Amino acid sequence: MKAYQLKAGSTSIEGLEQVELEKPQAGPGDILVKMHAASLNFRDLGIIAGKYFGGPVQSDTILGSDGAGEVEAIGEGVTRFKPGDKVAGTFFQGLIDGPANPFINPALGHSAPGVLSEYAVYKEDDAVHIPGNLNFEEAACLPCAAVTAWHAMMEAGTPVGADDTVLLLGTGGVSMFGLQFAKAVGAKVIITSSSDEKLNKAKALGADSLVNYSEHPDWEEEVKILTDGKGVDCVVEVGGIGTIGKSMQCLGLGAKIGMIGVLAGPEGECNPRNLMMTASSIHGIFVGNRRMFETMNETIQTNDIHPVIDKVFDFDDTVEAVGYFKSQAHLGKVVIQIG
């Protein structure tokens, strides 16, 4: 089978290459999945650059955590799936419920083989049925970005509701899912970007208020104005230390921050005073478990939510897809069609 493998010790895109590997087989408790699509995440760029947890990969590794396909065969004892079922693997392996422990729960595309291959094998407990309203390209967007946004908004602390206002930073995959989940429950959404073009697209998708942080470097003040000084109820914080200080200034009473990413870089200031003044909280979000994934999928199907896909690349153009994703020209998800 064809697969995209990152060479051991690689620290650049030059280490990612298409290889021919032996087709895997389903052992006891396994499902063999013919992969149809995958999507990219910021995490993939970190792994390629050798800057993810633990540094460069120690062995040749199939890249990618997010993919969807069809069960081709099942191993002895499998009861949750049958051939023909449409499925996606869970980001963390061996995590049905509760918080992840990276030392115990391997993650696809890094400490476990990823999804950028024509076939993948999962333990039956490490996969979910995809929502019936989605095609493979759409379902391939769910395991990391969607579950992360769902965890931050609907699982950590008090779930976002109709009377709430959500602040989303940027227009990447997590933020676009955050927009869709917020609108599904009737919440208001404020979204930031440095691009008016992306902001206008976000507005067309349902965003209520827009802030261009290039035009308004003190964007936290704009958020306060947009909320009549009350602040927001939830921040989906993908920037990290570079933006967390400003995000704290946007909080209303009893609000929460879902702390997710590091997109804004490794430097910044973080004064927690406003957490105390607003009785707010910060929740560390590390994707999520299978139960969250399955609960989220029910909401996606019930509300007919379709992931925002910016561009779809052919499997043979995976390296080009990674370059496009790295350019940050996209809004939403970048997908690779496998077969």
* Residues 246-259 pLDDT 10s: 999 999 999 999 99
pLDDT-derived band at 53, boundaries 50, 70, 90: confident
**Residue 267 pLDDT > 60:** no
Joined together, the tokens standing for residue 27 give: 């052992």
User: Is 324 found in the same domain as 215?
Assistant: no
Condensed to tens digits (0 to 9), the pLDDT of residues 30-48 reads: 999 999 999 999 999 999 9
pLDDT tens-digit profile of 218-240? 999 999 999 999 999 999 999 88
In terms of domains, do 105 and 169 share one?
Answer: no
Domain of 190: which CATH number? 3.40.50.720
Domain endpoint, select from 266, 284, 302: 284
- Predicted pLDDT at 269: 67
Please answer whether residues 162 and 183 qualify as being in contact, where contact means their C-beta atoms are separated by less than 8 angstroms.
Answer: no
In a domain, 318, yes or no: yes
pTM of structure: 0.95
CA pair distance 94, 88, nearest whole angstrom: 14
Domain contains 152: no
Q: Is 50's pLDDT higher than 60?
A: yes
Mean pLDDT of 16-24: 97
The answer to whether residues 226 and 305 belong to one domain is no
Residues 9 and 101 reside in one and the same domain: yes
Domain boundary residue, one of 249, 267, 284:
284
Sheet holding 281-284, edge to edge: 209-212, 188-193, 165-169, 232-237, 251-259, 281-284
Q: Which residues pair with 3 in a beta bridge?
A: 19, 117
Confidence of residue 151 (pLDDT cuts 50, 70, 90): very high
Residue 204 confidence (pLDDT): 97
* pLDDT(3) > 80: yes
Claim to verify: residue 294 and residue 278 sit in the same structural domain: no
How many domains does the chain contain in total?
Answer: 2
Length of the chain, please?
A: 339
- Specify whether the CB–CB gap between 45 and 322 falls below 8 A: yes
Are 107 and 202 members of one domain? no
Q: Residue 141: inside a domain, yes or no?
A: yes
Report the pLDDT value the prediction gives residue 264, as an integer from 0 to 100. 44
Q: Is the pLDDT of residue 15 over 80?
A: yes
Q: Residue 89 falls within a domain, yes or no?
A: yes
Same domain for 301 and 264? no
From the list 15, 22, 95, the residue with the least C-alpha distance to 59 is 15
Which residue(s) pair with 314 in the sheet? 337
For residue 232, list its beta bridge partners: 251
Cα–Cα distances (Å) from 23 to 60, 193, 318, in that order, read 16, 43, 20
Task: Give the pLDDT confidence score for residue 263 in this predicted structure.
Answer: 54
Question: For residue 208, is it within any domain?
Answer: yes
Of 284, 300, 323, which residue sits at a domain end?
284
* CATH code of 297's domain: 3.90.180.10
DSSP classification of residue 63: -
Q: Are residues 102 and 140 in the same domain?
A: yes
What is the C-alpha end-to-end distance of the chain, expressed in Å?
A: 12
Q: Are residues 209 and 274 in the same domain?
A: yes
Same domain, 28 and 56: yes
Closest CA to 83 of 130, 32, 118: 32
203, part of any domain: yes
E-only strand ranges, 51-151: 61-62, 66-74, 86-89, 119-123, 127-129
Mean pLDDT (the chain, rounded): 95
Each residue of 279-302: pLDDT tens digit? 999 999 999 999 999 999 999 999
Does 150 reside within a domain? no
Residues 171 and 226 in one domain: yes
Supply the range of the domain harboring residue 205.
Answer: 157-284
CA nearest neighbour of 155 among 289, 255, 279, 276: 289
Of 51, 12, 257, 230, nearest in space to 158 by CA: 257
Q: Tell me whether residue 53 is in a domain.
A: yes
| Whether 31 contacts 146, CB under 8 Å | no
| Least confident among 32-46, 170-184, 208-222, 255-269 | 255-269
> Are 181 and 95 contained in the same domain?
no
Q: What percent of the chain has a predicted confidence (pLDDT) above 70?
A: 97
